[in-house]
Structure formats: structure tokens, C-alpha cells
Amino acid sequence: MNSKHRVTRHLVGVALCGAALFSPLALAASTSLQELASKPQDYLGQEVEMEAYCVKNGRSGDVIGYECTSQDGVYVDADDIEPEAAKEKLAGDCAGGGCMATIQFVPHSYSTSSAIEPGKTVTVFNAEKAKVSF
């Protein structure tokens, strides 16, 4: 292989790596809650990051797993959370949803409801797992 082909291959490889690093799926950027609520379908399968209060089994005790709630009516129901230290903190210091956390998740579905918060329509995202940090 001559040097011209090696340089071209190298440049293509660098360009592909750069595109992967900066694609929306590769980075979890903080997301506008208004944008999440107004266009939830755009975020299915995308990694999302937001600030929320999380509690095991939900605020009403009717969620299997964990419920994380933003102050603006965006909910995330996650079957599980990670890391293990976050589970311990939610069971201890933050029991009942008393601590604000940063959560990262990839929603697989969503719904809207006007029954969860009276007088308000909320968006509920469903995810298999969420990464929670305090």
C-alpha cells in the first residue's frame, strides 16, 4: 500500500471517530425540560440527562423500580438505577425523594397524564435503567 492510501485511510478513521464522539447518542447533554415535555417522541432511544428528585417505588408507592421527578412535571420511571451507592443513598439520606440528583437515561417509551398532578399534564418516560449521581 502506498503512503497516499495510508493517509487517506487514517483521515477517514479520524473523521469517523470524531463523528462518533460528537454524535447526540455519544454524549448526554443536559436537556431542556420544556423540550422534553413538548417533543417526547424525539428523545426515544436517545440518552437524556436532567435534574430530578428520585424515590424507590415512586412518590405514591405505585412504581416498580424508581421514579424520578423534575420540578417541571417530567417524570422518569426506571426499572433499576446505578451505581449501587445511589441505591444506598436513596434508601438512606434521601429516602422519600429529599435529594436532587442528576439522572441519565435512555427512554424506550413515554406517556402523558393529567391524573398524576391535578391541573397539570405531565410527561412520563420509561427506561430500563438510569444512572443517578448526587
- DSSP assignment letter at 17: H
Burial 52-74 (b: 16+ CB within 10 A, else e): bbbbbebeeeebebbbbbbebbb
Question: Smallest Cα–Cα separation from 123: which of 35, 29, 57?
Answer: 35
Joined grid coordinates for residue 99: 435529594
CB 35 within 8 A of CB 41: no
CB 108 within 8 A of CB 44: yes
- Alpha carbon distance 44, 17 (integer Å): 24
For the chain, percent of residues with pLDDT exceeding 70 = 77
Per-residue pLDDT tens for 117-132? 999 999 999 999 999 9
Per-residue pLDDT tens for 38-83? 999 999 999 999 999 999 998 888 889 999 999 888 999 999 999 9
Question: Smallest Cα–Cα separation from 86: which of 74, 104, 71?
Answer: 104
Phi, psi of 72 (to 5 degrees): -105, 20
Phi, psi of 39 (to 5 degrees): -135, 55
pTM of the full structure:
0.75
